[in-house]
């Protein structure tokens, strides 16, 4: 019961923060004719996702089976991109991510491919595809795949707010203290939101 209340509180805080950011952005949006030039750009993004396992976990303890269906992922990632032309952006990203059930902390490292439907306009629909792996307190490196669609809104000069709908797959491999020498394989799929700032 306490965990459900904490989860509801987290979601309310996240939704309140998202509403505040969108409200401030709408009030202070800049000239829509501004353009994004070729060159380096940076993105800091926070993500919150609901994640669940595909159903097949090798050597999973019985007491963990019921928990991974109600799991959540939270993270903060930093990305450095290079805009090659008005539509295509390629970059590298890393960050800090945490899955709460079972408790797994890792550091993703990934290649990010992004495209802007609006071309070089600051305000535009954006697509993203990320491919990488995980490092940290894990038994093995697994695959990380993410795809998203979102909207980029200018906030101040070249600073933009990015809001994304994200789907994700994490192939997490973890060894727990309760069963030393036994590697658990978690094939987790998730969906959620990403909110970040791009410069």
Q: What tens digit of pLDDT does each residue of 76-105 get?
A: 999 999 988 877 889 999 999 998 888 889
Q: What tens digit of pLDDT does each residue of 110-157 get?
A: 999 988 877 667 788 889 999 999 998 888 888 999 999 999 888 887
Considering only 29-33, 34-38, 139-143, which range has the smallest mean pLDDT? Answer: 29-33
Q: Classify domain 2-198 by CATH number.
A: 2.40.160.20
pTM of the model: 0.75
Cis preceding linkage at 4, omega within 30: no
Q: Are 28 and 156 in contact (CB under 8 A)?
A: yes
- The pLDDT-based confidence of 182 (bands split at 50, 70, 90) is confident
Would you state the pLDDT for residue 123? Answer: 82
Percent of the chain exceeding pLDDT 90 equals 32
| Angstrom distance (rounded) from CA 182 to CA 175 | 6
Q: What tens digit of pLDDT does each residue of 146-168 get?
A: 999 999 888 887 788 999 999 99
Query: Containing H/E element for 8?
Result: helix 2-28
């Amino acid at each position: 019961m306490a965990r459900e209340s904490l989860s509801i509180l987290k979601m309310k805080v996240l939704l309140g923060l998202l509403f505040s950011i969108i409200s401030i952005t709408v009030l202070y949006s800049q000239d829509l004719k501004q353009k994004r030039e070729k060159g380096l750009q940076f993105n800091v993004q926070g993500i919150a996702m609901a994640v669940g396992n595909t159903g097949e976990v090798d050597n999973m303890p019985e007491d963990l089976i019921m928990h991974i269906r109600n799991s959540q992922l939270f993270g903060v990632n930093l990305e450095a991109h290079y805009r090659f032309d008005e539509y295509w952006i390629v970059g590298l990203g890393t960050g800090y991510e945490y899955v709460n059930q079972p408790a797994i902390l890792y550091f993703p490292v990934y290649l990010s491919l992004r495209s802007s439907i609006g071309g070089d306009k600051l305000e535009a629909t954006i697509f993203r595809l990320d491919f990488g792996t995980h490092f940290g307190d894990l038994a093995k490196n697994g695959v990380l795949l993410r795809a998203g669609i979102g909207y980029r809104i200018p906030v101040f000069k070249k600073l933009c707010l990015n809001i994304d709908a994200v789907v994700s797959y994490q192939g997490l491999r973890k060894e727990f203290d309760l069963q030393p020498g036994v590697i658990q394989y978690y094939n987790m799929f998730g969906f959620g939101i990403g909110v970040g700032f791009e410069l």
